[in-house]
Amino acid sequence: MSAKLIDGKQIAAEVEAEVRRECEALASKGVIPGLVAIRVGDDAASEVYVRNKAKKATELGLNGTQKHLSATTSQREIEAEIDRLNADDAVDGILLQLPLPSHLDSKALLDRIDPRKDVDGFHPVNVGRLQQGRPCLVPCTPMGVIRLLESSGIAIGGCRAIVVGRSDIVGKPVAALLLHRHATVTIAHSRTPDLAGAVREADIVVAAVGKAMMITGEMIKPGAAVIDVGINRIEYGFDKLDRLGEAKRNAVLTKGSALVGDVDFESARSVAGWITPVPGGVGPMTIAYLLKNTLQAAKDRRA
């Protein structure tokens, strides 16, 4: 068998179309949802991420802007900027791009964002409401995972699901979302005894551990849905190059590197029922749900 490929780009485009339609409806009432992304320092990847988020926001009818602060900006100065944005009625969503320079306390800064404008869903108020199944702004990548499953017609209720990874950003919130949809959920991690055996029992596997190609086909239950959240750049000398598909192996040999997920895609796709690629799977969903959260924040603040 060969798994059905879950096209994250196509499903993200559906989410974006929903956002665009609702933004047009709000614009007719004089409301333009506003998103401000704060970037501190000169991390190249962060610059690309923030630029892409702001650009996509504008494309969909939101007011997407960037606030770039120098790497030497103090904790107090960033707190003042967040306070200013919290008080600005034109701003519906505030995003603090991570990672931050080492001298800054990222948790304290994230906690300072108004929970109603916390479009990343990281504030303790939103985390607590999510755990209780109450309305809140939900972290973007976990919601993207759920939408990929639901849009692919994969039943969550009554199934066994495993989340490999226990981060506050992906692992814990996606487990909560699966639990709220009546799955029986296991959270696994590096210290889980017999990880392969635990994964093999699952009808849904969410890999979010941050280790390249850790989940292999031998660990997958036949017919399971595999959602690969991982994004890892591998280079020549990587010990699993022989397991790559031809295109990625050639990319490593000719360009020096390639992106892979936490799942050994080639071996898993021969066992799974559904699988997401890397790139083009979960990644596009994260930005789509960031903008959907900004739209939701704009509506909730004016309700």
117 is catalytic: no
The predicted pLDDT at position 212 comes to 96
CA–CA separation, 2 vs 261, rounded Å? 18
Residue ranges per structural domain of the chain: 30-114, 140-284
CA–CA separation, 223 vs 35, rounded Å? 40
Q: Which residue's entry shows tokens 């239950």?
A: 221
55 is catalytic: no
CA–CA separation, 146 vs 15, rounded Å? 12
How far apart, in Å, do the first and last CA atoms of the chain sit? 50
CATH of region 140-284, choose from 3.40.47.10, 3.30.1360.100, 3.40.50.720, 3.30.450.20? 3.40.50.720
Fold classification of 30-114 (topology level):
Rossmann fold (3.40.50)
Evaluate whether 238 touches 266 at the Cβ level (below 8 Å). no
CA–CA separation, 6 vs 276, rounded Å? 5
Burial of residue 29, with CB atoms counted within 10 A of its CB: 0-12 exposed, 13-18 middle, 19 or more buried: exposed
CA–CA separation, 82 vs 112, rounded Å? 7
Evaluate whether 163 touches 174 at the Cβ level (below 8 Å). yes
Cis peptide before 279 (omega within 30 of 0): yes
Q: Which of 92, 118, 120, 264 is catalytic?
A: 120
CA–CA separation, 181 vs 60, rounded Å? 29
Same-fold call for 30-114 versus 140-284: yes
CA–CA separation, 70 vs 78, rounded Å? 10
Q: Which residue's entry shows tokens 């959907």?
A: 292
Report phi then psi at 87, rounded to 5.
Answer: -85, -10
Give every CB contact of residue 262 below 8 A, 6+ residues apart in sequence. 164, 165, 207, 208, 209, 210, 211, 212, 213, 214, 215, 228, 229, 230, 232
- Check residue 194 and give left, alpha or beta (phi > 0: left; psi -120 to 50: alpha): left
Long-range Cβ contact pairs of 255-260 (< 8 A, separation 24 or more) = 257/233, 258/233, 258/234, 259/231, 259/232, 259/233, 259/234, 260/212, 260/213, 260/230, 260/232, 260/234
Inter-CA distances, 204 with 106, 154, 288, Å: 32, 9, 22
CA–CA separation, 242 vs 143, rounded Å? 33
The predicted pLDDT at position 1 comes to 67
- What one-character DSSP code corresponds to residue 89? T
Buried-exposed string 30-68: b where 16+ CB fall within 10 A, e elsewhere: ebebbbbbbbbbebeebeebbeebbebbeebbbbbebbe
Evaluate whether 34 touches 90 at the Cβ level (below 8 Å). yes
Q: What is the pLDDT along the chain (303 residues), one digit of tens a residue?
A: 699 999 999 999 999 999 999 999 999 999 999 999 999 999 888 888 889 999 999 999 999 999 999 999 999 999 999 999 999 999 999 999 999 999 999 999 999 999 999 999 999 999 999 999 999 999 999 999 999 999 999 999 999 999 999 999 999 999 999 999 999 999 999 899 999 999 999 999 999 999 999 999 999 999 999 999 999 999 999 999 999 999 999 999 999 999 999 999 999 999 999 999 999 999 999 999 999 999 999 999 998
3-class secondary-structure state, position 12: helix
